[in-house]
A and B are shown apart, each in its own frame.
Chain A
Amino acid sequence: DAGVIQSPRHEVTEMGQEVTLRCKPISGHNSLFWYRQTMMRGLELLIYFNNNVPIDDSGMPEDRFSAKMPNASFSTLKIQPSEPRDSAVYFCASTIQGTRGYTFGSGTRLTVV
C-alpha cells in the first residue's frame, strides 16, 4: 500500500497565480480530509468528503479556496488567486468512515511570494 499520496511536495508560486494541490487517498478509503498547518494557527481542518461528497467546508478560509473530489481516488484543493498568507503546509488524510483511523499524506509545502 503506497499510503496517501500528495503532489507536489513543494510549490513556490507568485501572488495572484492559481495553485492546485493534489491528493490520492488509500484505495478503499471513503473519507478524505484537507488540513492546513501554519505556525500561527496550527493544524486546521479545511474540508472533508464522504463518498466523494463534500460534508463540511466550514473551514475553507474564503472563496479563493475550492476543493473537489471527482472520484474515489483523487481530490484537488485549488487556490485562485493565491496570496502570501496562504503559505503553509497542506495535508490530505483519508480513512474508512467509522474506523477511527486517519492516514496522512506527506503534505505539500506551499510558498506564495
Chain B
Amino acid sequence: AQTVTQSQPEMSVQEAETVTLSCTYDTSESDYYLFWYKQPPSRQMILVIRQEAYKQQNATENRFSVNFQKAAKSFSLKISDSQLGDAAMYFCAYLNAGNMLTFGGGTRLMVKP
C-alpha cells in the first residue's frame, strides 16, 4: 500500500512572499500521479496541480509549481506571491495505477497580511 506523508502540520507565510509545502510518498509502482488539493473553510476539495510520474518536467499552474523528485519520492508545492485567499488546508495525494487516491495528513497554511 502507498503512504503519503506531510511533515508540516502548519505553515505560515507573509502575503506576497513564497512558501513551500513538503510531501513525501512511498511506493513500489512506476506509473502513478501526484496531486495537491486545497481545502478552504468551505471544505470543498479543489485541485491545485497534478504531476504525472513519467514526466520529468515539473508542473506549473500560475503561482503554483511543484518540485517533483522521483528518485527521492518527494513532491513539494511552491506558492509564489502568496495571497490571503491561499489560506487553507493543503493535501498531497497519490493516485495509483488502480485509480485509488491516497491522501497525506494535510498542512494548514496561514497567510499573514
Contact = CB atoms under 8 A, between A and B. Distances in A.
Interface of A: 31, 33, 42-43, 45, 48, 56, 89, 91, 93, 95, 97-98, 100-102, 104, 106-107, 109
Which bracket fits the contact residues of B?
10 to 19
Nearest to A99: B99
B100 interface: yes
B101 A102 contact: yes
Given A89-B43, A104-B44, A106-B44, A98 B103 contact: no
Given A43-B91, A106-B43, A107-B43, A56 B100 contact: yes
Interface of B: 33, 42-45, 47, 50, 52, 91, 95, 99-106
Nearest to A45: B100
Contact of B45 (A45, A98, A100, A104): A104
26 contacts: A33-B101, A42-B103, A42-B104, A45-B100, A45-B101, A45-B102, A48-B99, A48-B100, A56-B100, A89-B43, A93-B101, A95-B99, A97-B99, A98-B99, A100-B33, A100-B50, A100-B52, A100-B95, A101-B50, A104-B44, A104-B45, A106-B42, A106-B44, A107-B43, A107-B44, A109-B43
Contacts of A107: 43-45
A30 to B, nearest CB: 11
Considering the complex of A and B, which 4 residue pairs feature the smallest CB-CB distances, nearest first?
A104-B45, A43-B103, A42-B105, A100-B33
A98 B99 CA distance: 7
